[in-house]
Amino acid sequence: MTKLPMPDVRPARPQFSSGPCAKPPGWDVSKLSTESLGRSHRAKIGKSRLQLAIDLMREVLQVPDTHRIGIVPGSDTGAIEMAMWTMLGARPVTMMAWESFGEGWVTDVNKQLKLDANVMNAPYGEIPDLSVVDFSHDVVFTWNGTTSGARVPNGDWISDDREGLTFNDATSAVFAYDMPWDKLDVTTFSWQKVLGGEGAHGVIILGPRAVERLENYTPAWPLPKVFRLMSKGALAEGIFKGETINTPSMLAVEDVIFALEWAKSVGGLSGLMARSNANAAALGKIVADHDWLGHLAKDEATRSTTSVCLTVEGADADFIKKMAGLLEAENAAYDIAGYRDAPAGLRIWCGATVDTADVEALGPWLDWAYHTTRS
């Protein structure tokens, strides 16, 4: 096979990793406020900056006052584990999984908490039948499968008169989709995805029904300190006012404050969604123009607009590794090999911090890398 000539134009920012993701356009470490650095997170300045981060997340995500927002340790993993360990066990549980992280939550609930949950699985690129979910159960699901590129289409499938709680792992979804907060009792995510923030910090959002569960149910198993949302028989309200359970990185807090201020500057939630949608559309055009490329999630209604997973004709894991290596060596695209547990393919982040022009510039490079690897 004849090699294609190397393209002339590279993406200006080749960061297409699905986490940690590209920084917001214009980001520079020198632009971060440093007043809180070297100070205690429990000092007035520390708590005020943590509270500002919470307030900005509420504003951008349009979270109602009925819901509490807390910054917790351990990224999204820490946040969803905290939710499951503190609230599951009060009633039957349905676990929904269509990618590696959702499957991980199934393992923890069934093998660690030993709850013998009902499991609804789907292959990579697909989602289970949402019409048969039993909402007399607590329901744990991932809104957007980061490693599979498949997502729920919306929140219409969630019952308004559910008996159980909904636990929404939304780490690749918030800031890119419109979240139906009245249907979400527990929502968790990490700053490192759509905001392009730093890792290690998670966010948990609790609706009134989740708070009621916490106040009226004590799990049968012991809870480590970093999971404890209750204190002396009452909700630890300080967690939702900038008083974190353990020591946060104030540099990471300043970083996410920058990202949230940027989000406001591009139109808030609607602006972020528009940017993600434009990026996904640009990548979709590239896929349509190349017969060797395809979407792992074939149904557009349930296809991610953030972590877009692609199939590559005839490729195995070794082929993908070589192809991604070529692109990285040429500074054309970083970290786009699919997740290790997923089918061999590419995974390209199209969240709001990526510029559409860079997605468009990526197309010729994908073609070059594919044909170069084949030859």
Mean pLDDT, range 331-352, rounded to an integer:
97
Residue 201 β-bridge partners: 73
CA angle 333, 338, 342 (to 5 degrees): 175
What is the spatial distance between Cα 305 and Cα 255, in angstroms, rounded to a whole number? 24
76-135 pLDDT per residue, tens: 999 999 999 999 999 999 999 999 999 999 999 999 999 999 999 999 999 999 999 999
Q: What are phi and psi of 71, to 5 degrees?
A: -95, 125
Domains of the chain (ranges; CATH) run 29-263 (3.40.640.10), 268-374 (3.90.1150.10)
247-267 pLDDT per residue, tens: 999 999 999 999 999 999 999
Give this prediction's pTM: 0.97
What is the spatial distance between Cα 220 and Cα 265, in angstroms, rounded to a whole number? 46
Helix (H) or strand (E) holding 201: strand 201-206
Q: Does residue 1 carry a pLDDT above 70?
A: no
What is the spatial distance between Cα 100 and Cα 107, in angstroms, rounded to a whole number? 11
Q: Which of 175, 350, 339 is nearest to 263 (CA)?
A: 175
Q: Which whole-number Å values give the CA distances from 284 to 279, 295, 300, 363, in the listed order?
A: 9, 8, 10, 10
- Per-residue burial over 335-352, b if 16 or more Cβ lie within 10 Å, else e, is bbbbbeebbbbbbbbbbb
What is the spatial distance between Cα 8 and Cα 245, in angstroms, rounded to a whole number? 50
Helix, strand, or coil (residue 83): helix
Mean pLDDT, range 23-27, rounded to an integer:
98
177-209 pLDDT per residue, tens: 999 999 999 999 999 999 999 999 999 999 999
pLDDT band at 6 (very low <50, low <70, confident <90, very high): very high
Residue 206 β-bridge partners: 68, 186
Give the position of tokens 């406001």: 264
Helix (H) or strand (E) holding 214: helix 208-216
What is the spatial distance between Cα 334 and Cα 336, in angstroms, rounded to a whole number? 6
Q: CB of 179 within 8 A of CB of 158?
A: no
Q: CB of 120 within 8 A of CB of 94?
A: yes
Mean pLDDT, range 360-368, rounded to an integer:
98
Name, in order, each residue with C-beta under 8 angstroms of 288's C-beta and a sequence gap of 6 or more. none
Give all strands (DSSP E) within 74-191, no chain letters.
Answer: 93-97, 118-121, 138-142, 166-169, 186-190
Q: What is the mean pLDDT of the chain?
A: 97
